[in-house]
Chain A
Amino acid sequence: MVTNVISPSNADKLVPSNSAPLARWMNALPSIMLLTAAVLLVVSMALPYWGLVLEAPQYPGGLRLRVFVNVMTGDEDPQLDEVREIDELNHYIGMQSLYDAAKFERSIAIPAVILMIVMLVVAVFWRGRRSWLLTLPALLFPFIYLGDLAFWMANYGLNLDPYAPLSSAIRPFIPPILGEGVIGQFKTIAYVDTGWYIVVAGSLLIVIALAYKWFSSRQQSQG
């Protein structure tokens, strides 16, 4: 008995030839979901995953940092490089340059996401018993991303240069990766952005696809 039936060709075999088109679609659904998850991963690469707004009286509209899967930018202001500006401000508390954060992760990010996409596609068409394992990196990716971000935030917040101009005023701290914080006159608002929500949607699709597949295979073996 075939247990890893998730490709359209296998779905055909599972369904009697006289079955309704609806049932045929139902059986193709897991494959469609996994492929959609792959497409969402592709789309997410063009969108910011995480953002940080720094609000202070002398920066009307705030300073905006947007972090993509592999790069950091500011908002659309053509004249102000906001990452640089945040760096200039961070030197007062002795925080390292943002450009040096997660260098390795950012350098491998694009190949890694492409690899996840390839693995998802392979999982659709490969009938191997453990092919579901290939979906795990994509499934876990948004949470790994946030975990890594939290690691770097803590790393930066806790390793302040003790000789910085304001080191006597600002103690090492762990900046929150979500929600509000305060550093000096700055209020910080951290949030997950569109790109991250899109990959989370992809993860949900993968979970549903795997569950659907698991239930339908159980049903079949019982039947």
Chain B
Amino acid sequence: MMFSRRLSSKIFLVAVVLVVVSALTLVLAPKAITSAQSGDTSDWQTIAEQRGLTEADLRAAVMTYTPSGMMDEYVMFASSGQAGQVLAIGLPSMRLLRLISVFTPESWQGYGYGADNNSVLKQGYIDGQPILWGDTHHPALSETAGDYDGQWLFIGDKSSGRVAVIDLRDFETKQIVHNPAFLNDHGGTFVTPNTEYIVEGGQYGLPMGGEYAPISDYQTSYSGMITFWKFNRDTGRIDMDQSFAMQLPPYWQDLCDSGKSVSEGWIFCNSFNAEMATGGIEEGNPPFEAGVSKGAVDYLHIINIKAAEAVFKAGGAVDVNGFMVIPLATSIQNNLLYLAPEPRSPHGADVAPHGDFIMVGGKLDPHVSVYSFQKIQDAIAAGTSETDTFGVPVLALESVLETQVELGLGPLHTVFDDQGYAYTSLFLDSAVARWSIGAEGYRPQDGWKLINKTPVQYNVGHLAAAEGDTASPDGRFLVALNKWSVDRFLSTGPLLPQNLQLIDISRPGDQTQILYDMPITGAEPHYAQIIKADKLHAWDVYPEVGWNPTTQSVDPNAVTQGTEGVTRDGNNVIVRMTVVRSHMTPEHVEIQKGDHVTWTITSVERARDATHGFALPFYNINLSIEPGESINFEFDATRSGVFSFYCTEFCSALHLEMMGYLMIKPD
């Protein structure tokens, strides 16, 4: 009985399992078969299933997908490192909208290939030495009352210590300046709250004025430097005569930021070589990477720019290789400069939206150190007897530190949102830390604490949040500027793109989400700023026919229709040409070998996007002639022959026919 009962129950169990399995097969199999067979791609859920997208992925897609014709809400201006350019990227779509050539020639825009804008590049030559690239680092939008105003963009070149001015009416570079007293920078560009000055902090210590000094004299003959470029909004140019610099100790100043609101009138820079290490691995000395990181502290530089301006105007600066520099001793004497210890080799000195705190990322220290501007003021008022080796007053750390927040490994750079959170990139952790600012006006309810860490891919450098370094951040979006992409994209060989990751920061607490990866080829965005798109008012076409973008006015040489032609005065030939779809006038230009040619081309187009190119083979000339633009270029006719010039921008159905012949007769 027992046996048979057990057997029957086993049979029963097997039967049940068989029934369930076959029922499931009957129910599920047809579905699987039909969906796999039909692959009904009219249904978005099927597509999501087929592509293996999760619900979170779909949320990210909905937040970023921007159908044809829909405009982005923000524009991010990102540097492009050693490519020497600036990128304009739309958010949230992460579409590349425009490449702006700055320090490096770029043939699409005809930048550096014959036209007037060669003169902008030439401004950046140092002592006549052509420098045809740059290492763009930190873009800075012009500000009014601490908020972006969308009018100008500035960008520094770390390698040669130069600053460029970009006009956001046509997104083109208008000016490049170089402080002849110094040769590199990193802490730039940053603007004062009303763009009175563009701040360019130097980086590696050097003898001033391009002089020679042996490295053994590092402490006596090498300096750091910070340059304050005076910006004139009326001319849209930096005014060299009103600009000045301050000599600093050779501590390798790094990143700077301008004070705002309560701290307006002050500049803060971190540094990372208070050790004044001089390297020399080949001589058995500690290499820079070890020597520079040896000490426990470096120095936060606290600069009173208003007092510095007064000292400069009162004649307290000296001429160094043609540029006015306030000597370090003068700065000490006039209380222009203070130092405060900061944990070893930090990166970034970022001023909070209300101007009341300065966040310094620890880099080799797991904390972000928060300095209180009020405490700094109190400490300065109380006075200090401590100085560094050069006699610069050093404020005691405990007297100026508000708090330290432990975030993780490799904290670098901090930006802010509208909810009272700060975001700090963690280079070594490959993550972005969201932490609460526990002060009044931010998130006093949470206190100073780490909220969450969002893993990013990989090695995040700087961060950019929507208007996240202004007096009123927008929140919503954060972009992690990752140095490495490793496995994020299809392989295109050993040189990999950077990875810009868009992160949703709109929800409080630990709800942050990566939305989109954008590969950046053409070098490394070191920093970016994100501006609300409706603050930008770019021209559709140049305001008037005959416009010279280099001067932003009508060019007196501009050619009008009916006045085109070729004229000669001795060996000087003047060619006056107009272009309009789909012809150039004149189409035959006949000259003599040995002539010097001055050529003006004016586009009489008024339609948006009706751009023409002008390519002249052999003579290395390629221009971009946008609607209304007038361009001048010159060359010597050194080689005879027939040269077919043509339009390089596909302008119309008869674009290929838009050409002409330059006929150069032999001697």
Q: Which A positions have Cβ atoms within 8 angstroms of B?
A: 58-59, 79-81, 84-85, 88, 92, 165
Contacts and interface: CB of A to CB of B under 8 A. Distances in A.
Interface in B330-344: none
Interface residues of B, number: 14
Contacts of B539: 79
Contacts of A165: 582, 654, 657
Nearest to B541: A79
Main secondary structure of the interface of B (DSSP, over half): loop
Contacts of B608: 79-80
Interface of B: 539-541, 543, 580-582, 605-609, 654, 657
Please list the 10 inter-chain residue pairs (A to B) with the smallest Cβ-Cβ separation, ordered nearest first.
Answer: A79-B540, A80-B606, A81-B606, A79-B541, A85-B607, A165-B654, A88-B580, A84-B606, A85-B606, A80-B607
A81 B609 CA distance: 14
23 contacts: A58-B609, A59-B607, A79-B539, A79-B540, A79-B541, A79-B543, A79-B606, A79-B608, A80-B540, A80-B606, A80-B608, A81-B606, A84-B606, A85-B607, A88-B580, A88-B581, A88-B605, A88-B607, A92-B582, A92-B654, A165-B582, A165-B654, A165-B657
Contacts of B607: 59, 80, 85, 88
Nearest to A63: B607
A58 B580 CA distance: 17
Given A79-B606, A85-B606, A85-B607, 9 more contacts: A58-B609, A79-B543, A80-B608, A88-B581, A88-B607, A92-B582, A92-B654, A165-B582, A165-B657
A58 B581 CA distance: 14
B552 to A, nearest CB: 16
Contacts of A79: 539-541, 543, 606, 608
A2 to B, nearest CB: 61
A59 B607 CA distance: 9
A88 B608 CA distance: 14
B71 to A, nearest CB: 13
Contacts of B609: 58
A118 B343 CA distance: 91
A79 B626 CA distance: 14
Nearest to B580: A88
Contacts of B606: 79-81, 84-85
Main secondary structure of the interface of A (DSSP, over half): loop
Nearest to B539: A79
B363 to A, nearest CB: 49
Contacts of A84: 606
Nearest to A59: B607
Nearest to A77: B540
Contacts of B540: 79-80
Contacts of A92: 582, 654
Nearest to B607: A85
A166 B543 CA distance: 31
A86 to B, nearest CB: 10
Nearest to A82: B606
A165 B656 CA distance: 13
B660 to A, nearest CB: 15
Contacts of B580: 88
A80 B545 CA distance: 11
Among A58, A84, A85, A88: residue with most chain B CB under 10 A? A88
B271 to A, nearest CB: 49
A80 B654 contact: no
A165 B655 CA distance: 12
B656 to A, nearest CB: 12
A45 B25 CA distance: 81
Nearest to B544: A79
Nearest to A89: B581
Contacts of A81: 606
Contacts of A58: 609
B654 to A, nearest CB: 5
Among B541, B543, B580, B606: residue with most chain A CB under 10 A? B606
A95 B163 CA distance: 51
Contacts of B582: 92, 165
A84 B561 CA distance: 13
A55 to B, nearest CB: 15
A9 B472 CA distance: 74
A98 to B, nearest CB: 14
Contacts of B654: 92, 165
A168 to B, nearest CB: 12
Contacts of A80: 540-541, 606-608
B329 to A, nearest CB: 56
B560 to A, nearest CB: 13
A80 B605 CA distance: 9
A165 B657 CA distance: 10
A88 B604 CA distance: 10
Contacts of B543: 79
A80 B540 CA distance: 9
Among B580, B582, B605, B608: residue with most chain A CB under 10 A? B608
A79 B540 CA distance: 7
Contacts of B541: 79-80
A92 B653 CA distance: 10
B195 to A, nearest CB: 27
Nearest to A169: B653
A196 B605 CA distance: 32
Nearest to B652: A92
Contacts of B581: 88
A88 B539 CA distance: 21
A58 B541 CA distance: 16
A165 B658 CA distance: 11
A84 B605 CA distance: 9
